[in-house]
Structure 1
């Protein structure tokens, strides 16, 4: 018996919601769902379009908080590409016969002192704190801050670039799980995923875990800590650090799996890699474009892989042996 339209729409809504949350996103599962039935892509596109219309109706323009109001979060947020300040919305779509639920990040302080700033995949956001420090969030990123304390940030997941106004008497701290980074007059980029943390310094100095290892990272150094606790420091060109802010991704001996994850985060579309080539080491520079259909064929040519699409999902696979030899 064929799956009815209501079931398909319900599944499409679930995928729209899941892909907004990097902690729940399952690109492989999404690709498999799209490929399992040709009508799934149409259902997903319909829900995604409805979702965008809800966003337009629900947007709240950001307003810089008044200094005298302690109930407002510190900092000013600059919006790029899309409207960032939106609310959780649920609306009945006339004539569609379904309830579309759109979930959006909201920058509202909790009853305590903490509040969060979040981006969806494919979105960038800039936060300017009261002390002049600037935080730029890549797609699929969540940063927690504290009211009244502009010298602290926690990177919950994703990637962010920090340009810190240095104060020797009150150093800026970035919390990454149980670890900490402390600035010493610094511009640096931090990536946190389920399997690793990377901190790359483009200017100044950062201290990793100042109360324990006190590992010093000067400009041009990159720290990598795996989920197993392995720590490694390598050299990196400072000019390439946080290149995503300028629509540029630079790789030196990176795995294709890492490249795909970065592209998904920046382009906002699911990109998977065939298991047999996921660990392949590649080097090169990718120049991003808002149109993934323009970017991904260039990626395929650069890294000598086949790139195919199914609806909104993309996949990198090995080229046939005879094609690679020709």
Structure 2
């Protein structure tokens, strides 16, 4: 389906770009933006265009001038020489020219009713196994199979990934998923495994699984999830989990409740074009609750310094470095 973005949607998107970049933005602002963003496909298209427009303005006229021009366009300030410092008056000719460029471009976008092509949600790959079981794989996730006469073993590769397993029942041939030193054993059931940073989350949607770790084992029934911190000494915890929340990633939504930012970013990196490296454990320990849309990871990343006490810096080897704000 092709969507057309109208003037009101572009204007609303532009105000959201400014609001998320405000130093006083809060996590409630981010949550409100996510509700608006999710409400309509046109909102997503308009926001992504205005986000790109902002970055392009910064490239053409400089980030400081772009911020000042954005304030003018939002009606937050005026270049009144009687009330502004002398530095502003010296910059006003440059800002006036910049404002002309920005408003002319924005006017063209509005008048043309720009309609960008919709970007597909990151593909969910489904694989059928020889025994009739199936595996749904999230972006940049890999599972290898090692079948024998008496065991069906699948290994999640790498340090991050997500997969949903629908298991064909066969009591004589156990189905086991291995994630590092954790093993998830099932007979006839369906469950999701998410490996992010040093955190493994197993959510069961059907039947019962037995989860074994070096610190012990536990049985998890449908409607629950078990969380294991790989590098910690804590005992895995079991909490309720709905099927809708567990499988939201298949519809392009990553949903979290009080999860460390390090684990969230490990997931987001699988969908983002600018991966984040956490160079400060204090930043990674910050708890996050909310939804990240896989089609809007760049916008979510850009908003991080506005809603959390963190800072992002470009890395020489590519991507971004995340640290606690000093």
TM-score normalised by structure 2 residue count: 0.50
Long gaps (5+) in structure 1 = 1-80, 83-121, 321-326
Question: What residue number does 2:127 align with?
Answer: 127
Q: CA deviation at 1:151?
A: 2.7
Question: What residue number does 2:288 align with?
Answer: 282
Structure number with bigger Rg: 2
Contact 2:257 2:290 in 1 (8 A): yes
Shift in alpha-carbon separation, 1:272–1:194, aligned structure 2, 3 A: closer
For the residues of structure 1 that align with 2:306 and 2:206, how far apart are their CA atoms?
33
Q: CA deviation at 1:154?
A: 1.5
Which residue of 176, 181, 190 corresponds with 2:179? 176
Matched, 1:240 2:241: no
Give runs of aligned pairs for residues 37-52 of structure 1, distance below 5 A.
none
For the residues of structure 2 that align with 1:175 and 1:318, how far apart are their CA atoms?
34
Matched, 1:293 2:298: yes
Contact 1:270 1:314 in 2 (8 A): yes
Contact 2:192 2:204 in 1 (8 A): yes
Matched, 1:216 2:219: yes
Q: For 1:159-209, what per-residue CA distance to the aligned partner results, in whole angstroms no more than 9, with x for missing partners?
A: 222121222333311123444211143221223456343322232211123
Question: What residue number does 2:103 align with?
Answer: none
Contact 1:124 1:137 in 2 (8 A): yes
In proportion to residue count, which structure has more helix?
2
Contact 2:143 2:156 in 1 (8 A): yes
Which residue of 196, 201, 204 corresponds with 1:201? 204
Contact 1:145 1:154 in 2 (8 A): yes
Q: CA deviation at 1:216?
A: 0.5
Shift in alpha-carbon separation, 1:319–1:209, aligned structure 2, 3 A: closer
Give runs of aligned pairs for residues 1-326 of structure 1, distance below 5 A.
124-146=124-146, 151-157=152-158, 158-159=160-161, 160-192=163-195, 195-209=198-212, 213-219=216-222, 220-238=224-242, 239-273=244-278, 275=280, 276-289=282-295, 292-297=297-302, 313-314=319-320
Question: What residue number does 1:119 align with?
Answer: none
Matched residue SS, 1:217: strand
Question: What residue number does 1:90 align with?
Answer: none
Q: CA deviation at 1:248?
A: 0.8
Q: For 1:194-235, what per-residue CA distance to the aligned partner results, in whole angstroms no more than 9, with x for missing partners?
A: 63433222322111239x955111122223142245322231
Question: What residue number does 2:104 align with?
Answer: none
Shift in alpha-carbon separation, 1:227–1:164, aligned structure 2, 3 A: same
In proportion to residue count, which structure has more strand?
1
TM-score normalised by structure 1 residue count: 0.50
Contact 2:133 2:168 in 1 (8 A): yes
Q: CA deviation at 1:153?
A: 0.8
For the residues of structure 1 that align with 2:230 and 2:256, how far apart are their CA atoms?
18
Shift in alpha-carbon separation, 1:228–1:260, aligned structure 2, 3 A: closer
Long gaps (5+) in structure 2 = 1-119
Q: CA deviation at 1:317?
A: 5.8
Contact 2:311 2:323 in 1 (8 A): yes
Say how many residue pairs are matched: 200
RMSD: 3.7
Kindly indicate whether structure 1 or structure 2 has the higher relative contact order, using CA contacts under 8 Å at least 6 residues apart.
2
Q: Which moved more, 1:123-132 or 1:279-288?
A: 123-132
Matched residue SS, 1:258: helix
For the residues of structure 1 that align with 2:325 and 2:231, how far apart are their CA atoms?
32
Contact 1:123 1:140 in 2 (8 A): no
For the residues of structure 1 that align with 2:303 and 2:202, how far apart are their CA atoms?
28
